[in-house]
Amino acid sequence: LGCSAAWKELSVMLNAAVYTISFSLLTNAALGFSLLEDTKGEMGVGHAFLSSAITGIFMVCFGGQPVILYGQTGPIVLLYNYMYSLSHSFGIPFKPWSAWIGLFAFVMHTLLAAFGTCDFKKYVTAFTEETFAVLVALDFITTALLGFYAGFTLEAYECKDKRECTINGLFTLLLGLWFYSFALKLGGLQRKVRWSSGRLLRFLSEYFVLLALIATTLISYLPEVLDLHQGGWPEDGVPSRIKAPRQW
């Protein structure tokens, strides 16, 4: 009984750790690349990972919250995009200005916490919370749609023939739809399936997003493995990959 309880506690801890690390890696990589594009290379994935690491260490040492989600969000990327545009409009150096804004935000949040202003959260209505949730959801949906659209353009895939761009866009769209449907299917197995063991179903339900992402990534390399170039498949590789900088 003692070993069973210990294994259960260890399983819960590992699940939380894997979920937190996966969330941090995916959000920093994806939104960090958006940050790289929006700021023309002045900030990017390296900065996103470093800021999340510093925040995590700070919260573990001083905040008493070792298992918390750290990563980039859409509104933060939009904020830096606006800051970059304003800095160039007014001739202000972007990175020093960002550092001062971050310092001001740190002082502001420290004072808010010191004076117990968190007590005022009881006056925040559900409408305000749900409005922000809708904002974040719309940002993610818009980013996904723009990403699918970009798969058909020359910016994402430098095709010599327009038909190659069409193939790249269609395959990207199919991979996105497959990932979404496959993740939903895996996530709902624990509630619908009775033919397998409880441990396997629990594992699939807890790691369905990560498993669906790995499966989709492997499927994306099938055209290269099967050597479909002889049948008219573009030789440069479809779908197009992110041109990641070396410092990643």
Q: 73-103 burial string, b = 16+ CB within 10 Å, else e?
A: ebeebeebeebbeebeeeeeebeeebeeeee
pTM of the model: 0.68
Q: CA–CA separation, 31 vs 17, rounded Å? A: 21
HSE-up of residue 169 (Cα within 13 Å, Cβ side): 19
pLDDT at 68: 64
**Which of 8-12, 23-27, 46-50, 110-114 is predicted least confidently?**
8-12
Question: Which pLDDT tens digit goes with each residue over 174-183?
Answer: 888 888 888 8
pLDDT at res. 47: 84
pLDDT over 60 at 1, yes or no: no
Q: Is the torsion defined by CA of 50, 148, 175, 226 positive or negative?
A: negative
Residue range 177-196: mean pLDDT, rounded: 77
Rounded to whole angstroms, how far apart are CA atoms 30 and 37? 11
Region 109-135 average pLDDT: 84
Confidence tier at 103 by pLDDT (50, 70, 90): very high
Task: Give phi and psi for 14, each to the nearest 5.
Answer: -65, -40
Band the pLDDT of 158: cuts 50, 70, 90: low
